[in-house]
């Protein structure tokens, strides 16, 4: 009998806006694992194609932690919370959960193991990275339609030159993470 493995990855930790997302994925044995790569190594178009393919051929779920939770807990704890939520939402319970990175959420009755650079080594984690990235990018793009000046459709809320310039020129939005360094520095200059 095959061991049911779930891969978990997060996206949005370093972004200056919005929630942090995590995805958990259990791949169907018929899925072509050779197609899967770390989401950062794929073009936007390829990520979107693969996201549909993975969703059609696996058990998957998404968990998130809100902006409020990030501000209250800190980004690491919020990320672990998003991972925990994604794992618990899976329709079937995995025997083993492989998580990208070097930290694990606290969960009783789950066999959790972290894998450094897991999104490059483990197909289940690569799949999770793709689903998490496409899902969060979609949300930030949608939010960005209301805040065009910040170029979120292009930068996904990360601290690019354009985004930092827009923050300095137009101020912050209700979606910005006020506890994050560049924004915190702008809000409370020395």
Domain boundaries defined on the chain: 5-145
Kind and range of the H or E run holding 26? strand 20-27
Q: What is the mean pLDDT of residues 65-90?
A: 97
- Given a cut of 70, is residue 12 above it in pLDDT? yes
**141 in Cβ contact with 47 (< 8 Å):** no
pLDDT digits (tens, 9 = 90+) for 67-78: 999 999 999 999
Which CATH code, of 3.40.50.10470, 3.30.420.10, 3.90.1640.20, 3.50.50.60, is assigned to 5-145?
3.30.420.10
With the C-alpha atoms ordered 84, 39, 48, 158, is the resulting torsion angle positive or negative?
positive
State how far the alpha carbon of 89 is from the alpha carbons of 1, 61, 86, 92, in Å: 23, 6, 5, 9
Pick 26 or 181 by higher pLDDT.
26
What secondary structure letter does DSSP report for 16? S
């Amino acid at each position: 009998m095959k061991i049911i493995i779930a891969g978990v990855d997060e996206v949005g930790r370093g972004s200056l806006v919005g929630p942090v997302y995590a995805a958990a994925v259990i791949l169907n044995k018929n899925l072509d694992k050779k197609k899967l790569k770390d989401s950062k190594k794929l073009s936007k178009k390829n990520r979107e194609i693969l996201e549909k393919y993975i969703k059609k051929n696996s058990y998957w779920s998404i968990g998130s932690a809100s902006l409020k939770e990030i501000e209250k807990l800190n980004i690491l704890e919020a990320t672990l919370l998003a991972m925990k939520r994604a794992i618990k939402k899976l329709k079937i319970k995995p025997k083993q959960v492989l998580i990208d990175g070097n930290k694990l959420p606290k969960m009783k009755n789950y066999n959790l193991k972290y894998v450094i650079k897991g999104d490059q080594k483990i197909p289940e984690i690569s799949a999770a990275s793709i689903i998490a990235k496409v899902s969060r990018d979609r949300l930030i793009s949608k939010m960005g339609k209301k805040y065009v000046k910040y170029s979120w459709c292009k930068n996904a809320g990360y601290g690019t030159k354009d985004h930092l310039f827009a923050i300095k020129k137009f101020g912050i939005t209700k979606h910005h993470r006020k506890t994050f360094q560049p924004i915190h520095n702008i809000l409370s200059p020395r």
